[in-house]
C-alpha cells in the first residue's frame, strides 16, 4: 500500500508557504484600496491594464526575460530564494522530495514549461497591478503605502518572475 502521508505533507507545506507570501504581500495592496475605495476609477484602470498585460502573447512577454544565461540569475541569489518558495528546497528537504514534480522526459518538460509560463504570467499581472497602485499611491502622497507596496511587489512578483525564468532555462535544456 502506498504511503500518502508525505505527499500530503508536501501539499500542506506548499499551501502554508503560498498563504504566507500572499497574505504578507497582498495586505498593503488590499488595505490601500480599502481606504481609497474600489469605486475609484484608477483601481479599475490599474486592474484592466494589468489584465491586458497578462493577455499579451508569450513571445512578447518573453522579451522581458532578464537573461538567457542561468548564471546571471544565480549571481543574484536565485538559488537562495528557491529555498523559500512552493516546491522549493525547504519543502523538498522536509518531504525528502516525495511528490515533487519530476521531469524525466521531453513530454513532461514541455508540460512543466506551460506551468511555469502560467505562474510567470500570473506574477506579471500582479506586478503591473502593484506597480500602478504604487504610482497612484505616490502621486496621492501615500508614501508609506507606496513603499510598502513597492517592497511587496519586489518580493511577491519580481523575484518569482525571475525564478520562473531561471527554471525555464533549466527545463529547456531537457526539451532541446
Number of Cβ within 10 Å of residue 171's Cβ equals: 19
Task: Please say if the pLDDT value at position 9 is more than 90.
Answer: no
Q: Which residues contact 40 (CB under 8 A, 6 or more apart)?
A: 33
Give the length of the chain.
176
Give 70-99 pLDDT, tens digit per residue: 999 999 999 999 888 887 778 877 777 565
Question: What is the arithmetic mean of pLDDT over 6-19?
Answer: 83
From CA 85, how far away is CA 155, in angstroms rounded?
A: 11
Q: Is the pLDDT of residue 114 over 60?
A: yes
Q: Phi and psi (nearest 5°) for 111?
A: -65, -45
Question: Residue 128's pLDDT band (boundaries 50, 70, 90)?
Answer: very high
Q: According to the model, what pLDDT value does residue 86 have?
A: 83
First to last CA, the chain: 38
Confidence of residue 67 (pLDDT cuts 50, 70, 90): very high
Residues 152-170: pLDDT tens digits? 999 999 999 999 999 999 8
Res 21 pLDDT > 50: yes
* pLDDT greater than 80 at residue 4: no
Q: Could you tell me which residues come within 8 angstroms of residue 30 by beta carbon, excluding any fewer than 6 positions away?
A: none
What's the pLDDT at 1? 44
Map residue 85 onto helix, strand or coil. coil
- Cα 150 from Cα 142, distance rounded (Å): 12
Q: Give which of 11, 36, 18 is closest to 149, Cα–Cα.
A: 36
The model's pTM: 0.88
CA distance 38 to 56: 25
Amino acid at each position: 500500500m502506498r504511503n500518502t502521508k508525505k505527499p500530503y505533507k508536501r501539499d500542506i507545506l506548499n499551501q502554508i508557504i503560498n498563504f504566507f507570501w500572499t497574505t504578507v504581500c497582498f495586505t498593503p495592496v488590499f488595505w490601500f484600496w480599502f481606504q481609497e475605495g474600489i469605486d475609484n476609477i484608477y483601481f479599475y484602470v490599474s486592474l484592466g491594464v494589468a489584465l491586458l498585460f497578462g493577455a499579451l502573447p508569450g513571445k512578447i512577454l518573453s522579451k522581458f526575460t532578464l537573461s538567457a544565461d542561468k548564471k546571471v540569475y544565480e549571481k543574484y541569489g536565485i538559488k537562495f530564494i528557491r529555498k523559500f518558495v512552493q516546491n522549493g528546497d525547504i519543502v523538498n528537504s522536509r518531504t525528502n522530495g516525495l511528490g515533487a514534480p519530476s521531469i524525466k522526459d521531453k513530454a513532461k518538460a514541455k508540460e512543466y514549461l506551460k506551468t511555469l509560463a502560467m505562474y510567470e504570467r500570473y506574477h506579471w499581472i500582479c506586478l503591473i497591478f502593484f506597480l500602478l497602485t504604487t504610482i497612484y499611491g505616490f502621486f496621492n502622497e501615500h508614501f508609506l503605502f507606496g513603499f510598502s507596496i513597492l517592497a511587496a511587489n519586489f518580493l511577491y512578483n519580481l523575484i518569482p518572475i525571475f525564478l520562473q525564468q531561471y527554471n525555464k532555462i533549466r527545463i529547456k535544456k531537457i526539451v532541446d
